[in-house]
Every structure is written in C-alpha cells, then in structure tokens.
Amino acid sequence: MKPFRQLARRQALSGLATPRILSSQIAATSRLRLRNFSSTASVAQLAALDPSKLTVTKTQSPKKLTPPNELVFGKTFTDHMVSVEWTATEGWHSPRIIPYQNLSLDPSTCVFHYAFECFEGMKAYKDKNGGTRLFRPNKNMERLNKSSARIALPTVDGDALTKVIGEFVKLDDRFIPDRPLVLVPPGSALLFVIASPVGPYYPTGFKAISLEATDYAVRAWPGGVGDKKLGANYAPCILPQLEAASRGFQQNLWLFGEEEYVTEVGTMNLFVALKNKETGKKELITAPLDGTILEGVTRDSVLALARERLEPKGWTISERKIRMSEVAEASQEGRMIEVFGAGTAAIVSPVRSISYRGKLVDCGLKENEEAGEIALQMKNWIEDIQYGDEPHPWSYVV
Ligand SMILES: *Cc1c(COP(=O)(O)O)cnc(C)c1O
C-alpha cells in the first residue's frame, strides 16, 4: 500500500487528471480521500463545486464545422472543454471552461496504474426553437457520483455540475447537429467535460443487429463493479466483442452464471418482448439491477414509458432474470415478439438474431423488417421528449 499512497498523494498535489467521458477523477487518492469522506466534519470544510465561480477562456482558433455525414463518433470535438480540479485539502476548485486541449500527465498518475477512472455519456439536443436541451442530466449525475464513490474519487454536486455543463453546451452550441452532441467528461482531482458532435446513429434508418451469446467470458459479477461506469470495466470487454465481430456478429450478448441469465448486449441494456408461457400475456423483460447490470438512463426511461403507456394496453413490464434458454424456447415456440438493446447512443438497437450454442435464435423480426413495433415506438417517444417536441420534465432546457 505504501507506494500506492505516495503515488496518490503526489497525484493530489500535482492535480493531474485523465480525459474521458463525463467526469472522472483520476488522481484522487484512495486513502486520503476515504479519510476525508468518512468524516462528515472534514467533508463540510471542503469546497463544493460553485458554478458562480465559473471562468471562461474562449478559444483563439474556432474549428470549422464538420458536415454531419462526415462525423465519426469520438473523433471530432468542439472548441472548448470543462475542467475542474479537486484536491483533498480544498475540495472543488473553481470550474473553468477552456479551449479544448491535451492534458499533460505525470507518468505516475494513478489512472495509468490503478484505473482510477469513471465516466458518463449524455447528449445535448437542439429543439425546434433553437433552444438547447439535455435529457435527464440528474440521472447521469447520480450515476457519476455512485461510480466515483465506489472507487474513492470525490463526488460532486450534480445540480452545480449540470449548470456548468449547461454553460459549456451553450457556448459550443453551434456544434450541435440536428442530431445530438455527445458529452464526455472526467477528472482527477480534476473533472472534464468534453463534447463530440455525432451524426445520426442510423443514417439510413434502423439496422437490426445480430448477437453472439458469450459463454466463455463474464462482464460483471455479484459484488463487483459492473453496475458502475468505471473505465476498468470496458477494456476487458473488447476482445469478446472482436471475436463476435470476426464471426459476423455486430455485438456480443453477455450471459451470466450456470443459468446463463441474459444480462446486457455490448454496452447497452437488453429488452426482450415475448408472450409469457404461463399467463399468455405480452411481457417486456429486462434484467433487474442486482449489481451486475449498468443502470442505464435509457433503460429507466424505457421502463417508465412502458409502465405508463404499454401496461394499460395489457403488457406486463418485468425487471426479472431471464435465462438464455427461456429466450430460445420463446423463439422456438413462436412466442418471441422482439428483442432490442437500449442506450444513449442509439436509444434502441433492434436485434435480429442471437447465436447461442451453435444455433441462431430468431428474435421475431420479419425478413424485411429492421425494427419491431415496441423498439420503434420507444425511439419515437423518447426522441419527442429529447428534442422538446413533447413537453416533459425529463427534458432540461439549458
Ligand atoms: C452506458 C451503459 C449502458 C447504457 O446506459 P445509458 O445511460 O442508457 O446510456 C448500458 N450498459 C453498459 C454496460 C453501459 O456502460
């Protein structure tokens, strides 16, 4: 532990950080911080994030806008970024909006050795009156704080950070395409917010994907951190994804345990719609938040809308475990309605088939169909709220 503690302390002093999606604090010190945060008295002395102290340094060289059809996810970034330093002695320093720039990191920075990193991803939307909106930012802030707390990084006042992000998004709003802007923040005793304009996820309309059920690797396990957006969770998932891709599948489906419970698809939550064998009723199923599932904002939104708008039409909405064998059986017995992934990037991603034990499980789409009715409806309902076409408390006008 000793070198680790030294490292941590040095880190806090140099105030370095790593870049990544919404807020992560790389450097923050495990031991030092735990001590600080375990005592309410010392927490009270640390400064909270104060949006009224925001300073803005505008870029001298504004970038040219990239045409929407040439945007590559995570390649193009906007003119500015948010940067906020945190130190164990003072807490959150004044937030800054500065020109988008490289970070300069000490090689001893914790993130490189111990993966002290977490992130968030959300989008900004332009409504038809030219106003700029975020979608349920409080959910991202809550999750960011859960991720940070789990790895002993400092938590932050979510409303305050949302205000700072609002200013940032307004400043760079010329980059928001007709389609949304992706926000990417992190931190160390530093927290970053960066933004990347993205083109439409499905430029030519929905394209159903095929999945390979992964039975030889595990993404998350009980008591682990798979329910947190920690950078360390993601690198180990790339190989299984590449393996699936090498056999022609766009994503892999993560199964868990001897029961082969269906958990998530790539980095999306998964929804299965089927006719329940016992009740004969239509059922929309997603895995419960048992610690192995990432609490997607889209998952939560799909569930809430389904309970509000599908339940009255006779649907059962279930957060329950479902085995891959049950999915395969529903398909075989003609009870499968549809399957789709859910996440901020695509909102919904319809699934055509799942490769499981050497066979293809058909997920209910007709041959000429790229999306099922529920996925399509969810996409429309959620987009109407995101773009402000339907007034809704989930849409946050900046
Ligand atoms: C981010 C993420 C999701 C989706 O979350 P949203 O808030 O809906 O974007 C689902 N699963 C994993 C593993 C994720 O990292």
Domain ranges of the chain: 2-197, 209-386
CA 72 to CA 91: how far, in whole Å? 36
Atom 5 (ligand 1) nearest CA: 296
Side chain identity at residue 392, one-letter code = H
Atom 12 (ligand 1) nearest CA: 267
Segments in 15-136 forming alpha helices (H): 30-38, 40-45, 110-114
Q: Ligand 1 centroid vs 120 CA: distance in angstroms?
A: 9
Q: Ligand 1 centroid vs 280 CA: distance in angstroms?
A: 31
* Residue partners of 110: CB distance under 8 A and separation at least 6: 7, 8, 11, 26, 27, 28, 29, 116, 188
- Contact, 253 vs 352, CB < 8 A? no
Q: Ligand 1 centroid vs 102 CA: distance in angstroms?
A: 26
* Residue partners of 169: CB distance under 8 A and separation at least 6: 124, 132, 134, 176, 181, 183, 195, 398
Fold designation for 2-197: D-amino Acid Aminotransferase; Chain A, domain 1 (3.30.470)
Around ligand 1, the residues with Cβ closer than 6 Å are: 121, 229, 264, 267-269, 294, 296-299, 343-344
pLDDT, mean over the chain: 86
> Rounded to the nearest 10 degrees, how much is the dihedral formed by the CA atoms of 311, 316, 320, 324?
-120
Q: Ligand 1 centroid vs 45 CA: distance in angstroms?
A: 34
Fold designation for 209-386: D-amino Acid Aminotransferase; Chain A, domain 2 (3.20.10)
> Is the pLDDT score of 130 beyond 80?
yes
Give residue 181's pLDDT band: very low, low, confident or very high (50, 70, 90).
Answer: low
pLDDT of residue 251: 94
pLDDT of residue 152: 83
> Is the pLDDT score of 9 beyond 90?
no
Which of 138, 344, 385 to mutate for ligand 1's pocket (most ligand atoms within 8 Å of CB)? Answer: 344
* Residue partners of 279: CB distance under 8 A and separation at least 6: 316
Q: Ligand 1 centroid vs 312 CA: distance in angstroms?
A: 28
pLDDT of residue 183: 55
Which of 251, 269, 386 to mutate for ligand 1's pocket (most ligand atoms within 8 Å of CB)? Answer: 269
In terms of Cβ atoms closer than 10 Å to its own Cβ (0-12, 13-18, 19+), residue 1 is exposed
pLDDT of residue 106: 84
> Is the pLDDT score of 23 beyond 80?
no
CB burial of 95-115 (b: ≥16 within 10 Å; e: otherwise) equals bbbeeeeebebeebbbbeeeb
Residue with token string 């030219």: 130
Q: Which atom of ligand 1 is nearest to the CA of 121?
A: 9
In terms of Cβ atoms closer than 10 Å to its own Cβ (0-12, 13-18, 19+), residue 80 is buried
pLDDT of residue 254: 97
Mean pLDDT lowest for which of 110-119, 167-176, 292-301?
110-119
Summarised one tens digit per residue, pLDDT across range 254-309 is 999 999 999 999 999 999 999 999 999 999 999 999 999 999 999 999 999 999 99
Q: Which residue has the higher pLDDT, 381 or 206?
A: 381
pLDDT of residue 180: 58
Asked whether the CA dihedral 316, 322, 323, 328 is positive or negative, the reply is positive
Which of 294, 297, 385 to mutate for ligand 1's pocket (most ligand atoms within 8 Å of CB)? Answer: 294
pLDDT of residue 221: 96
Q: Ligand 1 centroid vs 91 CA: distance in angstroms?
A: 29
pLDDT of residue 182: 61
Asked if domains 2-197 and 209-386 share a fold, the reply is: no
Atom 6 (ligand 1) nearest CA: 296
* Residue partners of 226: CB distance under 8 A and separation at least 6: 219, 220, 233, 291, 292, 293, 294
Atom 14 (ligand 1) nearest CA: 267
Highest-confidence range of 14-23, 97-106, 118-127, 252-261, by mean pLDDT? 252-261
Q: Ligand 1 centroid vs 342 CA: distance in angstroms?
A: 8
pLDDT of residue 24: 33
CA 371 to CA 368: how far, in whole Å? 9
Mean pLDDT lowest for which of 83-87, 368-372, 374-378, 385-389?
83-87
Q: Ligand 1 centroid vs 294 CA: distance in angstroms?
A: 6
> Rounded to the nearest 10 degrees, how much is the dihedral formed by the CA atoms of 301, 163, 191, 302?
0
Task: Report residue 380: phi and psi, to 5°.
Answer: -65, -45
**Is this model's pTM higher than 0.75 or not?**
yes
Give residue 63's pLDDT band: very low, low, confident or very high (50, 70, 90).
Answer: very high
What proportion of the chain, given as a percentage, has pLDDT over 90? 68
Q: Ligand 1 centroid vs 99 CA: distance in angstroms?
A: 28
pLDDT of residue 7: 31
